[in-house]
Amino acid sequence: MGRTARHVFVAGCVALWLLPLYLLVVNALTPAADYRGEPDWTLQGFALADNVGTAWKEARIGDSFQASLLYATVCGLVAVLVAATAAFAVVVLPIPRPAFWFWLIYSGTLFPLQIFLAPLFGLYADTGLYDTRIGLMLVYVAWAVPFAFFLIRNQMTTMPPELTEAALIDGASFRRIFWRVHVPLLRAGLGAAFLFQFTAVWNDLLLGLTLSRSGDVQPVMASLATLRATYASSGPPVILAGALVVSVPTLVLFLLFRGLFLRGVTASVR
């Protein structure tokens, strides 16, 4: 009975996940002119290319897509690099009070993002960083570092200290130990941290809406939110087609590197 209940529970969870996906795909395929004002449960046509074209070109989702790809890739890589060096300092280097530095950096994940929006908006307006790509990239890196630091630091604590001691005896510097010993052994954790931060930056809405307004600067999720108001007359098919397109990068990334992601997460929670 217990096994049957588990199977039913898993099947119900799968159905709850697949049902919205099914509605998304079916309604994204519906021609905008044929939309009747309520969700279609059966296929009414195949106008995905037209709906995507409207969202991509006329609504300029394409510009935001490229901007988000830049933000997610560059900021994810920079955040992982900064987090890895910080984790190395806390775990390996003989610094005083390492627990204090750990909690100081990790505290960046403990506060809700909403409390930073008003101060950030005022700061960006005063410094000229508002509605600039460099401004968004700076805040995305700062936002992504604490959680990446947590993951990488957890995996680094599982590495035997004898590795560092042996390298020091051989005359290696701490910089060489970091790049030649720890980074190769941390590849799974670094990869998992990058996937997490890529997804977080790609899916960001609040920072994008607060700190940008131009189509070539605004991230894709913020542009998708404004698409609903701008193209309300086109109906949900155009909006859903845009949502379907912007979900592709993270889906492809996880499918390609799911093994690396699982190894990294497993190593980080030991």
The residue ranges of the chain whose pLDDT is under 50 are none
pLDDT tens track for 118-176: 899 999 999 999 999 999 999 999 999 999 999 899 889 888 888 888 888 888 888 89
SS3 assignment, position 234: helix
Q: How far apart are CA 144 and CA 180, in angstroms?
A: 25
Alpha helix positions (H), the chain? 2-29, 48-53, 61-70, 76-91, 98-106, 114-127, 133-156, 162-169, 174-177, 183-185, 187-202, 206-211, 220-230, 236-246, 248-256, 258-268
Contact (Cβ atoms closer than 8 angstroms) between residue 167 and residue 181? yes
Q: What is the pLDDT of residue 232?
A: 55
Q: How far apart are CA 213 and CA 127, in angstroms?
A: 16
Q: What is the pLDDT of residue 138?
A: 95
Superfamily of domain 50-268: MetI-like (1.10.3720.10)
Q: What is the pLDDT of residue 90?
A: 93
Structure tokens at 64: 């935001």
Q: What is the pLDDT of residue 58?
A: 67
Q: What is the pLDDT of residue 11?
A: 84
Global pTM value:
0.83
Contact (Cβ atoms closer than 8 angstroms) between residue 156 and residue 225? no
